[in-house]
Structure 1
Amino acid sequence: MASNLLTTLSEISLNTSGSTLLLIISLLVAIGLSYFVYRSTIPPVPLGWRILLMSLRAAVVMIIILLLFEPILSITRRKQEKPVVAVLLDNSASMALNDQKVNRRTELKNTLNAEIFHRTSGNFNFAFYPYSHQLFDELDSVPDSMTLNGDGTDIRRALAELKERLAEKYFGAALLITDGADNLGENPARYAANYGVPIYPIAIGDPAEQKDVLISNYVTNEIAYAGTRVPVDVYVRSSGFSGQRVQVTLNHANQTLDTQIVQLSGNSFEQKVRLHFSPEKEGVFKYEVRIPEMAGELTKINNSKTFYIKILKSKLKLLIVAGSPGADFLFLKRALEADENFEVQSFVEKRRGRFYNNLTLPNPEQLAKFDCLILVDYPRRTSRTESLQKIKSALAKGKPLFVLSGKNTDYAKLLTLNDFIPLAAIPQKGPEQIIYMKQLPQGVHHPLLRLAEDDSENIEKWQELPPSFFNLNSVKLQNTAQSLAVLDMDRSGGFRRRALPLVVVRSSGKRKSAAVLTYGLWRWDLLMWGVGKNNSSYLTFLQNTIRWLTTDDDSKLVKIVANKEIYRSGEEVKFTAQVYFEDYQPVDGAEVTVQLQSAKGKQNLALSNAGQGRYEGRFQVLEGGDYEFTGTAHLQSRVLGRDSGKFSVEEFSLEYQNTRMNEDLLKRIASESGGEFFTSENFSGLKEKLTFPDKFITLKNEWEIWNRLPLLITCILLLSAEWFIRKRKGML
């Protein structure tokens, strides 16, 4: 890379820790004492021997004195540094396209064969870096050919990583050889404005719209239910085929599920086509939307898209048993019935334990057909034992339970379900008070209370909820229960009790339950509208709770999950791990690694510690297909546990969505950075632009002479020589 043009020796100095005058006086005294010792000897020796002995003694004493003053030898040099001109080479798949006028691969090769890249310059050095979705390692020289197979282009990231790698060098300028098809990351032109060095794009490709027909996008549900009609909106974009009719098909497992005819506009505008299908089985299935290949179009690769949809069984069946037709019940029922994923049936108790409309609870076998049981301010003092026994029998079959306490809940009767609820003893009731709720650290990260992906945003959403009601003086939980939120002592004015649990969960194998011990949750819906917001937090909390209760989840000590099961190409996968000791206390300081495996190989990802036993990591996926991951948690040399899972990435290439050379973007990058835009056909004026001011760096080397072993050895040798001569001459 950069080499020295000129290095000059600027200064040599010897520095000591004490006074220079004192050092000189000490050295003169050393010489004087040596002279005094050997001016006459017994027996007398010739003058030559006395001078030699005097010199040996003086040298030893002078070295010792120098060591006492801790001398440091400094040598300063001035070096002229040669600038580096970095050449960013776009290695993405769009660089291999055949435009109407040129072949981009050939155009790139001709550009790199230009004289400027092969002739040694005395003013600067070239450094070649290929990139696509990230910056790759520097090449040894100008490449003869490139693979041109990157699945995405992120110019902004490539520029940022380049600047970081050349931070210790004289970074003079950047050449950007690309078609400008930037489809990942942030706007590179905005980033170039503060880049600090000029950027000179050399454009590859034709800026005119290319003759092509493509599926630019689709919109459908990521999750659907068996037996329902699922819409798939397909967006078709075309250029150069105005008025022609094409067939858009939806396929699965080599079968055509639906088809529509669309007349192409040919003006590069998107046209929407709606297709439908009705899945029959549960699972994650792969679908394809396709349009036929047109004669003379740029590429057929973008004529189809594949995607995945997770098919669940028919809607979740929820049973609500309420102690009265109060506000909490009415708002809950309305919220759940508005969700198309739920099928809700309710029983509301009236006097003497009977239910409205002369209904009776179904028998345990029928209750077991529901996916989740919800108790709202139930049971009450008048609730019948036989109804509770039916619920207890259904819970014994593994059904999850959601308990929403109320003002009149009879906890003694509720404790007949103690094998299935988080409570361990009958709570002591007290006066009703208005209170606020606060998440515990484990609650911030628990899926039940996850209102937003970002932790701070999640906490803020809970804090903005209006207060609710509470009438308990004491709460005792089961050993296997976990408190997620407690009473906020700071905001609940005048409430002097300890921070009692308000939201608790219990999970034992596949048996789950959740309980909310505060009531008046209807306020989280109605009152939020009064402050200019909406009921999204209330709805999300209910959906999270039902989803967590109805999802199988064993009690593993190490849990590693991806935030989704299905991703689009270029989307970021977020891994989250939770690590516990055997007593379910969170583990901090563990090493958590995730290994991803696809058809093209393996990759490793280290997760970072987010605190409270939680670890996080991100990974950007570009290639479509099925991925499996295995995660392991280590603490020192001990393996705490392992977990595994899988996800799918839709087979969709970003590189074939915008196929023309993006001249506008490249000109903006050049303008914002202080560079100049060139094309591959004419960049002869580039060399004149690559002139840089001289830059010198100062190199200073220091040696601690007093701390060197050779000096000690020299003293010993000199003293030994003096002693040897004195002995040979018989001197005293």
Structure 2
Amino acid sequence: MAGQTLLFTILAAVVALGLSLLFYFYNSTKKRSKHWIIFSVLRFLSLFSLFLLLINPKLETLELSTEKPNLVFAVDNSSSIAYFKEEENVRSFLQQIEEHKALQEKFKVDYYSFGSQIKKLDTLSFTENKTQITPLFDNLTEIYADQVTPTILITDGNQTYGQDYLYKVKQYPQDLYAVAVGDTTSYSDLKIERVNVNKYAYLNNKFPVEVFLSYTGEEPIQKEVKIELGNSKVFSKKISFSKENNSEILQVNLPANRVGLLSYTITAETIENEKNTSNNTKKFLVEVIDEKTNVLILASYLHPDLGAFKKAIESNQQREASIQLISDFNGSLLYYQLVLLYQPTSAFKNVFDQIRKEKLNSLIVTGTKTDYQFLNKSQEFFRKEIYTQLEEFQPSYHSGYSSFQQPDIQFSSFPPLKDYFGEVAFETAPQVLLYQNINGVKTNLPIIATTEKNQQKIGFLFGENTWQWRSKSYVQQKSYESYDDFFGRLIQYLSSNQCRERLTIDAQPFYNYGDKISIIAGYFDKNYAFDDRAKLEISLQEEESEEKFQYPFILQSHSYEVNLSQLQPSTYTYKVTVEEENIQKTGSFTIVDFEVEKQFLNAHVAQLQKISKDSVYFLSQGEALLNQLVASKDYQPVQKSAVKKSSLIDWKILLGIIILCLSAEWFLRKYKGLI
């Protein structure tokens, strides 16, 4: 209690005593009662308690508590555990942990499972089709920050998805013990590690296929590797392997002789008594097309944006981009499905005249060297105020964009673009995908917008240096794919001469079994605004059995989505319909039978040895590990003290004392006839 509060308390006691005596002892106008001492005490207690409530002193108490160290068990819930037939052994080990009284008394035990996701352990199914271990350590580091938390990792050590966990474990601040699950015996094995192939090929051309093969064994072998299309063999070759020469990269060029989705099978001949033969076969699909989109990039000068545009466009082999300076161009634009005009100047006059005459699709990109005075006169879609001041702005994603489906790829984290300052006024309201964000304030000025008029599609990109967006995308995702897909969607929409449709479907031609399989649909009303009131349904038919399925679409923010991950490998035709509307879309896709979790022969003990604090434990040694944790002096309970402060006003007993004293005083005075 502070000195000032103590002084007020003493003063309150003196005042309460003085008032009580004044009323019952020194009051000369009334006859003093012979029970004045009792009345004075009751009045003193009630007044003093009331004054204490007004002063409201803070009381401090010291509380001691004992905190047990945490102990985390992280269990691999992927299908590879079931493939090794270790499910019951893992469950038995967890039961052993729960029944170990000394362990439970010493530690606060938590359980987590991991596979395709990390979550609190409820039940183990061993059916997850991916194993990613790296995010586990990020989550545990965040949950148990600044706490002693030894971690037991129960896994086969084979990661099939994500960043290598060896690097992440080196940054993990806790002691880590590895318990290996699975067979540790080495077997001879020939397997197909990976197949690299483009999704698309062009009719009457050849497309490259790259096959990575590996061999584990002591004896030299020679086996056939063949590629089949249906029942026809299109390639075969004998390849030799040995203990020293244990890998091979096979590069093949296959002909694309017919249009459509073609299913190929690669098979490596099995070794005698080979245990795992599922990794000797892999399938891949190639869609053969007979048309190509040609894009012309016309520029007033050379800039890094041009190369980024070309690479993003040509990331899809259905498209080809050519870069030319306007000073060197004097040909026809009719060969191209889309013309990209980079920072137009007066030298572009003939090009704009030809675009207007032929109603060609175009994408206008502006920047610091754009002649806006010429541009305002040369096209009829927008006008921009002309200023000499430059400004920088970052993109802000607009989820209401509906011309095509485009998710947010963290646009707000992209570097700023640069252009001239000024308001932009459109003749007709465009669809805006990205707005300008200036100094953290979102404006109504567009960065990327599209519009349609008289069967002509025009796109606008206000700002230069989008090449930095592509680089940032690589830094974030370790791949250019997200940016290239985004720019590819824009190019695909602008280069298409099809009329805008009220129902759009985003589906891949094929999926790997075990990956997330989803189809996204967009539905728009007659004014082409997104309609979130519709009910969409997809009807599926499996090709071989002709079995039929029906699933409803689920409304997302500005799209509809259906998850089909439960489907088995096969080819399916689908029809998407809108309830109470005569609108539908049809298509097909194939789910490729590929289970990455079955590609491993044994536990990756060597990898687990690198991350474990001690030697790697096995399930049969589980009791020894648990006893070691109990006996370890590194993990001891911690006694913590905490000062708890409470206000006197929270004491309900004090209010009771006031009421009791005043009531007793009143009843006694009434009983004695003093009232």
Structure 1 length as normaliser, TM-score?
0.61
Residue 337 (structure 2) aligns with: 371
The DSSP-based 3-state class of the residue aligned with 2:13 is: helix
In the alignment, the residues of structure 1 paired with residue 640 and residue 663 of structure 2 have an alpha-carbon distance, to the nearest angstrom, of: 46
| CA distances 1:149-194 after superposition (whole Å, capped 9, x unpaired) | 22222222223323434459x5441112222112333333333334
In the alignment, the residues of structure 1 paired with residue 514 and residue 247 of structure 2 have an alpha-carbon distance, to the nearest angstrom, of: 23
The DSSP-based 3-state class of the residue aligned with 1:441 is: strand
Task: Choose which of 442, 457, 464 in structure 2 pairs with 1:512.
Answer: 457
**Within 5 A, what are the aligned runs for 1:393-404?**
394-395=358-359, 400-401=361-362
Asked if residue 197 in structure 1 is aligned to residue 174 in structure 2, the reply is yes
Asked if residue 422 in structure 1 is aligned to residue 381 in structure 2, the reply is yes
In the alignment, the residues of structure 1 paired with residue 423 and residue 69 of structure 2 have an alpha-carbon distance, to the nearest angstrom, of: 73
Task: Choose which of 99, 103, 118 in structure 1 pairs with 2:100.
Answer: 118
Asked if residue 276 in structure 1 is aligned to residue 254 in structure 2, the reply is yes
**Within 5 A, what are the aligned runs for 1:70-219?**
70-98=56-84, 104-105=86-87, 108=90, 111-112=93-94, 118-121=100-103, 122-139=105-122, 146-167=124-145, 171-219=148-196
The DSSP-based 3-state class of the residue aligned with 1:201 is: strand
Contact 1:85 1:126 in 2 (8 A): yes
Residue 529 (structure 1) aligns with: none
Residue 642 (structure 1) aligns with: none
The DSSP-based 3-state class of the residue aligned with 2:174 is: coil
**Within 5 A, what are the aligned runs for 1:1-12?**
none
In the alignment, the residues of structure 2 paired with residue 44 and residue 382 of structure 1 have an alpha-carbon distance, to the nearest angstrom, of: 115
**Within 5 A, what are the aligned runs for 1:332-347?**
341=318
In the alignment, the residues of structure 2 paired with residue 601 and residue 577 of structure 1 have an alpha-carbon distance, to the nearest angstrom, of: 13
Compare 700-709 and 570-579 and name the one that shifted more.
570-579
Question: Could you say if the C-alpha distance between residues 718 and 603 of structure 1 is closer, same or farther in structure 2, counting changes exceeding 3 Å?
Answer: farther
Task: Choose which of 636, 640, 658 in structure 2 pairs with 1:693.
Answer: 636
In the alignment, the residues of structure 2 paired with residue 61 and residue 348 of structure 1 have an alpha-carbon distance, to the nearest angstrom, of: 95
Question: Could you say if the C-alpha distance between residues 69 and 165 of structure 1 is closer, same or farther in structure 2, counting changes exceeding 3 Å?
Answer: same
Residue 663 (structure 1) aligns with: 605
**Within 5 A, what are the aligned runs for 1:255-334?**
256=232, 258-263=234-239, 265=241, 267=243, 268-272=246-250, 274=252, 276-278=254-256, 280-281=258-259, 288-291=265-268, 296-316=273-293
Residue 23 (structure 1) aligns with: 9
Question: Could you say if the C-alpha distance between residues 37 and 559 of structure 1 is closer, same or farther in structure 2, counting changes exceeding 3 Å?
Answer: farther
In the alignment, the residues of structure 1 paired with residue 554 and residue 383 of structure 2 have an alpha-carbon distance, to the nearest angstrom, of: 44
Compare 30-39 and 339-348 and name the one that shifted more.
339-348
C-alpha root-mean-square deviation of aligned residues, in Å? 6.5
**Within 5 A, what are the aligned runs for 1:542-553?**
546-551=491-496
In the alignment, the residues of structure 2 paired with residue 507 and residue 543 of structure 1 have an alpha-carbon distance, to the nearest angstrom, of: 18
In the alignment, the residues of structure 2 paired with residue 565 and residue 183 of structure 1 have an alpha-carbon distance, to the nearest angstrom, of: 23
The DSSP-based 3-state class of the residue aligned with 2:161 is: coil
Asked if residue 680 in structure 1 is aligned to residue 646 in structure 2, the reply is no
Residue 478 (structure 1) aligns with: 427
Give the C-alpha shift of residue 67 in structure 1.
Answer: 0.6
The DSSP-based 3-state class of the residue aligned with 2:127 is: coil
Amino acid corresponding to residue 608 of structure 2 in structure 1: L
Question: Could you say if the C-alpha distance between residues 149 and 326 of structure 1 is closer, same or farther in structure 2, counting changes exceeding 3 Å?
Answer: closer
In the alignment, the residues of structure 2 paired with residue 374 and residue 177 of structure 1 have an alpha-carbon distance, to the nearest angstrom, of: 55
| CA distances 1:598-650 after superposition (whole Å, capped 9, x unpaired) | 9999999988xxxxxx99xxx9x99987999x9xxxxxxxxxxxxxx999876
Question: Could you say if the C-alpha distance between residues 318 and 64 of structure 1 is closer, same or farther in structure 2, counting changes exceeding 3 Å?
Answer: closer
Give the C-alpha shift of residue 94 in structure 1.
Answer: 2.0
Task: Choose which of 626, 646, 657 in structure 2 pairs with 1:703.
Answer: 646
**Within 5 A, what are the aligned runs for 1:546-625?**
546-551=491-496
Residue 40 (structure 2) aligns with: 54
Question: Could you say if the C-alpha distance between residues 606 and 723 of structure 1 is closer, same or farther in structure 2, counting changes exceeding 3 Å?
Answer: farther
Contact 1:91 1:147 in 2 (8 A): yes
**Within 5 A, what are the aligned runs for 1:466-545?**
477-480=426-429, 505-508=450-453, 511-514=456-459
Question: Could you say if the C-alpha distance between residues 456 and 94 of structure 1 is closer, same or farther in structure 2, counting changes exceeding 3 Å?
Answer: same
The DSSP-based 3-state class of the residue aligned with 1:661 is: coil
Structure 2 length as normaliser, TM-score?
0.65
| CA distances 1:42-68 after superposition (whole Å, capped 9, x unpaired) | 556553xx4432232111101111112
Task: Choose which of 17, 32, 37 in structure 1 pairs with 2:23.
Answer: 37
Residue 636 (structure 1) aligns with: none
In the alignment, the residues of structure 2 paired with residue 158 and residue 106 of structure 1 have an alpha-carbon distance, to the nearest angstrom, of: 23
In the alignment, the residues of structure 1 paired with residue 10 and residue 349 of structure 2 have an alpha-carbon distance, to the nearest angstrom, of: 107
In the alignment, the residues of structure 2 paired with residue 181 and residue 647 of structure 1 have an alpha-carbon distance, to the nearest angstrom, of: 30
| CA distances 1:379-436 after superposition (whole Å, capped 9, x unpaired) | 999979xx97x976753xxx52457999999979996xx6xx63579x99x9xx9x99
In the alignment, the residues of structure 1 paired with residue 221 and residue 13 of structure 2 have an alpha-carbon distance, to the nearest angstrom, of: 102
Question: Could you say if the C-alpha distance between residues 503 and 68 of structure 1 is closer, same or farther in structure 2, counting changes exceeding 3 Å?
Answer: closer
Residue 583 (structure 2) aligns with: none
In the alignment, the residues of structure 1 paired with residue 258 and residue 414 of structure 2 have an alpha-carbon distance, to the nearest angstrom, of: 37
In the alignment, the residues of structure 2 paired with residue 474 and residue 192 of structure 1 have an alpha-carbon distance, to the nearest angstrom, of: 52
In the alignment, the residues of structure 2 paired with residue 31 and residue 474 of structure 1 have an alpha-carbon distance, to the nearest angstrom, of: 79
Amino acid corresponding to residue 725 of structure 1 in structure 2: L
Give the C-alpha shift of residue 27 in structure 1.
Answer: 1.3
Question: Could you say if the C-alpha distance between residues 299 and 477 of structure 1 is closer, same or farther in structure 2, counting changes exceeding 3 Å?
Answer: same
In the alignment, the residues of structure 1 paired with residue 128 and residue 16 of structure 2 have an alpha-carbon distance, to the nearest angstrom, of: 75
Question: Could you say if the C-alpha distance between residues 54 and 95 of structure 1 is closer, same or farther in structure 2, counting changes exceeding 3 Å?
Answer: same
Residue 249 (structure 1) aligns with: 227
In the alignment, the residues of structure 1 paired with residue 213 and residue 145 of structure 2 have an alpha-carbon distance, to the nearest angstrom, of: 45
Question: Could you say if the C-alpha distance between residues 209 and 596 of structure 1 is closer, same or farther in structure 2, counting changes exceeding 3 Å?
Answer: farther
Contact 1:439 1:486 in 2 (8 A): no
Give the C-alpha shift of residue 296 in structure 1.
Answer: 3.2
In the alignment, the residues of structure 1 paired with residue 171 and residue 370 of structure 2 have an alpha-carbon distance, to the nearest angstrom, of: 61
The DSSP-based 3-state class of the residue aligned with 1:30 is: helix
In the alignment, the residues of structure 2 paired with residue 54 and residue 327 of structure 1 have an alpha-carbon distance, to the nearest angstrom, of: 101
**Within 5 A, what are the aligned runs for 1:347-358?**
none
Residue 442 (structure 2) aligns with: none
Question: Could you say if the C-alpha distance between residues 379 and 656 of structure 1 is closer, same or farther in structure 2, counting changes exceeding 3 Å?
Answer: same
Question: Could you say if the C-alpha distance between residues 299 and 412 of structure 1 is closer, same or farther in structure 2, counting changes exceeding 3 Å?
Answer: closer
Contact 1:234 1:272 in 2 (8 A): yes
Give the C-alpha shift of residue 437 in structure 1.
Answer: 9.4
Amino acid corresponding to residue 610 of structure 2 in structure 1: R
Give the C-alpha shift of residue 557 in structure 1.
Answer: 12
**Within 5 A, what are the aligned runs for 1:453-464?**
455=411, 459=415
In the alignment, the residues of structure 1 paired with residue 523 and residue 194 of structure 2 have an alpha-carbon distance, to the nearest angstrom, of: 39
The DSSP-based 3-state class of the residue aligned with 2:159 is: coil
Residue 67 (structure 1) aligns with: 53
Amino acid corresponding to residue 221 of structure 1 in structure 2: N
Contact 1:83 1:123 in 2 (8 A): yes
Contact 2:192 2:211 in 1 (8 A): yes
Question: Could you say if the C-alpha distance between residues 412 and 138 of structure 1 is closer, same or farther in structure 2, counting changes exceeding 3 Å?
Answer: closer
In the alignment, the residues of structure 1 paired with residue 371 and residue 636 of structure 2 have an alpha-carbon distance, to the nearest angstrom, of: 83
Residue 661 (structure 2) aligns with: 718
Percent identity of equivalent pairs? 19
Amino acid corresponding to residue 137 of structure 1 in structure 2: K
Give the C-alpha shift of residue 261 in structure 1.
Answer: 3.8
Give the C-alpha shift of residue 303 in structure 1.
Answer: 3.4
Question: Could you say if the C-alpha distance between residues 319 and 681 of structure 1 is closer, same or farther in structure 2, counting changes exceeding 3 Å?
Answer: closer
Residue 198 (structure 2) aligns with: 221
The DSSP-based 3-state class of the residue aligned with 2:674 is: coil
The DSSP-based 3-state class of the residue aligned with 1:96 is: helix
In the alignment, the residues of structure 2 paired with residue 288 and residue 548 of structure 1 have an alpha-carbon distance, to the nearest angstrom, of: 34
In the alignment, the residues of structure 2 paired with residue 228 and residue 43 of structure 1 have an alpha-carbon distance, to the nearest angstrom, of: 124
Contact 2:210 2:249 in 1 (8 A): no
